[in-house]
Amino acid sequence: MKQSQLFTKTRKEAPSDETSKNAQLLIKAGFINKELAGVYSYLPLGLRVIQKIKNIVNDEMNKLGSSEILMSTIQGKEIWEITNRWDDKQVDVWFKSQLKSGNEIGFGWSHEEPITNMMKGHINSYNDLPRFVHQFQNKLRNEVRAKSGIMRCREFIMKDMYSYCATEKEHMDFYNKTTEAYLNVYRKVGLGDITFVTSASGGVFTDKFSHEFQTICDAGEDIIYVSNDNKVALNEEIFNDETVAKMGYKKEDFEAKKAAEVGNIFTFGTKKCEELGLFFHDKGGVKQPVYLGSYGIGVTRLVGVLAEVFSDDRGLVWPKEVSPFHVHLVRLGVNEKTVEFADKLYLDLQKAGVEVLYDDRDLRPGEKFADSDLIGIPVRFVVSDKTVEQNMVEVKHRTKADAELLRVEDAISALK
Ligand code: ATP
Ligand code: MG
């Protein structure tokens, strides 16, 4: 993409009411736009990061055998009344509205009820199980606090997956496979070393336990306890003598850390399917309830966590796998030869399958470099009158202080 065609402008200052580092950086670099507190739009660069994360997540979900769907945001209240989750006293994040007819509707903060209800038309016998579905969907939640930038929003993208299984064993096997798939996701986006499977209580609606995926991060809203051997992590709410003893540890073996919940997996057992009337006929023709699991990843929260973790005083520092582009090609000077050289390099890089942001604007070098650092693409290629004279390109990594002069072929092959 040519930067001259990118409509977004970088800015020196974030809005004064924006206190979180992730949103400040992402706004300054032109990745997002703030609409309201806790409500953000995604601009070309931000959307590319989201696409990268989605692709990584989608691959892992497909490998688990899940099919992608897209449920509606508007939901009827009746199914939620059946499970006692319509009442604002039970679920305090509902956004609700009314149809012209006066009928109440809700905006999806989660989808267990509508998906399970829909599945009644597709699951009847043991032959129809197991079934796994997932979606990337804008969830709406009327959050009380929205001070963590895009890490806690009133509208945000979640990947939610749901599993329908015939037996407890099938259900738990899938739950455990999903845990591994989630760890793959966090590793691939660059957060593997600091993301922990964290045991937590199941909350009021689910079975006895749940697992959170918590990334160590100062801007996180949670406290987790990580064992000194890095093998066990516990959510604050279940960190007590009894639980740690069960796991063969003492409380002193743990350290408290601030963390952001980037994913959460729950088992509902057979309770929700029983409530909503999702049953199957087993081999003997006997009617049995279905096991439900629910698995969320905060896609846009992940973007925020990445911005928090991978940034410095000059701006964002994207890991390659989630960077909006692989290479930032920066042209300095407007000499005909230089422009020609840079234009050709832009094409050659694309031919080699490299995603390039090409700064073809006629601005001062200082401005271009400041923008480039702020946007944070991992590799920068600089083409100037001087480098063209030598038939070279200057290559600089965002995380390194020094640049090196390379021949174009060497610079391109070094990317692989
Ligand atoms: P939290 O504990 O942070 O309020 P939750 O437990 O209510 O989140 P889930 O319903 O399990 O969240 O949603 C799945 C994932 O969606 C979470 O693990 C988190 O990464 C993300 N998420 C939840 N709420 C928000 C929000 N308000 N803004 C952005 N992402 C969110
Ligand atoms: Mg949670």
pLDDT score at 206:
64
The amino acid sitting at 91 is V
- Ligand 1 atom, smallest distance to 109 CA: 10
Ligand 1 lined by 158 (C-beta under 6 Å): yes
- CA contacts within 13 A on the Cβ side of 176: 6
Ligand 1 lined by 235 (C-beta under 6 Å): no
Whose C-alpha lies nearest to ligand 1, atom 6? 264
Ligand 2 centre from 214 Cα, in Å? 10
pLDDT digits (tens, 9 = 90+) for 213-256: 999 999 999 999 999 999 999 999 999 999 999 989 999 999 99
Ligand 1 lined by 153 (C-beta under 6 Å): yes
**Do residues 279 and 273 make contact, with C-beta atoms less than 8 angstroms apart?**
yes
Ligand 1 centre from 384 Cα, in Å? 46
Ligand 1 lined by 272 (C-beta under 6 Å): no
Q: Give the tokens for residue 189.
A: 């986006």
**Do residues 356 and 368 make contact, with C-beta atoms less than 8 angstroms apart?**
no
Query: Where are the strands (E) in 84-194, listed by range?
Result: 95-98, 104-107, 131-140, 155-165
- Whole-model pTM: value is 0.97
Spatial CB neighbours of 83, under 8 Å, sequence gap ≥ 6 = 113, 272, 275, 276
Q: Specify burial of residue 301 (Cβ count, 10 A radius: 0-12, 13-18, 19+).
A: buried
pLDDT digits (tens, 9 = 90+) for 46-68: 999 999 999 999 999 999 999 99
pLDDT score at 294:
97
pLDDT digits (tens, 9 = 90+) for 314-355: 999 999 999 999 999 999 998 999 999 999 999 999 999 999
- Ligand 1 atom, smallest distance to 151 CA: 29
pLDDT score at 208:
74
pLDDT score at 204:
62
